[in-house]
Structure formats: C-alpha cells, structure tokens
Amino acid sequence: MINDFYKVACMTFLMLIIGVSVGFGQVYTMEAEDADLTNAGVNASGGGCANKSGSGLVFMRGTTAGDGDRVLAFNSIDAPSTGKYTMKLTYFASKESKLELVVNGGTKTVLSDFELTGFCYEGPSNVYSFEIDLNEGANNTITMSPVEGVTSPYLDKLEIFSTD
C-alpha cells in the first residue's frame, strides 16, 4: 500500500511539473530565434535584454524596400485535431509595428495594434493573441514577414493553445 501511495504521489508530481513547463492546453511553443529565418536581413539578437524569454529576439525591419521578402517560419506545428487554436506571440515594440501572418499557405493577415511597451531592456514583454485554424498533424506552418514601410516588432516567442 505504501508503494502504491508513493507511485501515485510521484505520478501526480510529474504531471504537475509537465503541466507547468509545457502549459495546460498548450500544443506548441518555440523561441522566435530558433525558428527558420530566411534572408540575411533577418537576424537574431538580444544580448543584454534581460526581459526576453530565450537567447535572442528576431527583428525583421520592414522600413526598407525589399524587406518584405524576409520570412520567419514556424514549421512542423503538431495539432492534435483540425480546428481553431489561439496563437500567442510574445514581442517588444517601441513604435508602430505590423506583421504579415500566413497559416498553412493561406491568406495573408496583417497583424497590427501591437502595444508599445519599449525595447526588451526597458520593460516586460507583451503578448499578441490571435485565433488561427490548424490541420490535424505535424504539417502546419506559420510564417511571418514585415509589412513594407512599417517596422516589425521584436519577436520573442510563439505559443499555440487549444481553444477547448
């Protein structure tokens, strides 16, 4: 009986640890700097920024002609079922920012209205939440590009949660 008690206690403890580290309802998480970056203009940086979550940040500019061909891709997103999910993008922005978002090669959506909180060394990050549709399986891709003429926010992390 005591062995059974310890087994149940250990399993409960492990489930709590896993739930806290992955997040209940969370189906995907990735640091922006670990995603696929296309073109030399996209770079990971962030040394000295204590408020970032990982090792760096991604900044794609957007203010210069040609910046729109820069792409940040989150690939192999594994959704347990086809349906709606909540995407949470952690970012920093000190001036008006926009991003083009494409899910699974679909229609471009321009994300705007990023709250201006400053750079990563000036204060905490913000989270932009947006509802997306994903297909069942690990073949989902989310791409982000700057909107030409407008700066992009500094991207920190992408998380996806089930809406159930």
For the stretch 79-128, pLDDT in tens is 999 999 999 999 999 999 999 999 999 999 999 999 998 888 888 999 99
The length of the chain, given as a count of residues: 164
51 vs 24: CA distance, rounded Å: 23
- Report how many domains make up the chain: 1
Cα dihedral 157/71/101/27 (nearest 10): -40
146 belongs to a structural domain: yes
Residue 2 counted as domain residue? no
71: CATH: 2.60.120.260
Question: Taking a C-beta distance cutoff of 8 angstroms, is the pair 125, 50 a contact?
Answer: no
User: Can you give the residue range of the structural domain that contains 119?
Assistant: 25-162
Whether this prediction's pTM lies above 0.85 is answered by no
Tens of pLDDT, residue by residue over 55-73, are 888 888 776 766 668 899 9
Quick check: is 148 in a domain?
yes
Query: How many other β-carbons are positioned within 10 Å of the β-carbon of residue 139?
Result: 13
> How deeply is 54 buried, as exposed, middle or buried, from its count of CB atoms within 10 A (0-12, 13-18, 19+)?
middle
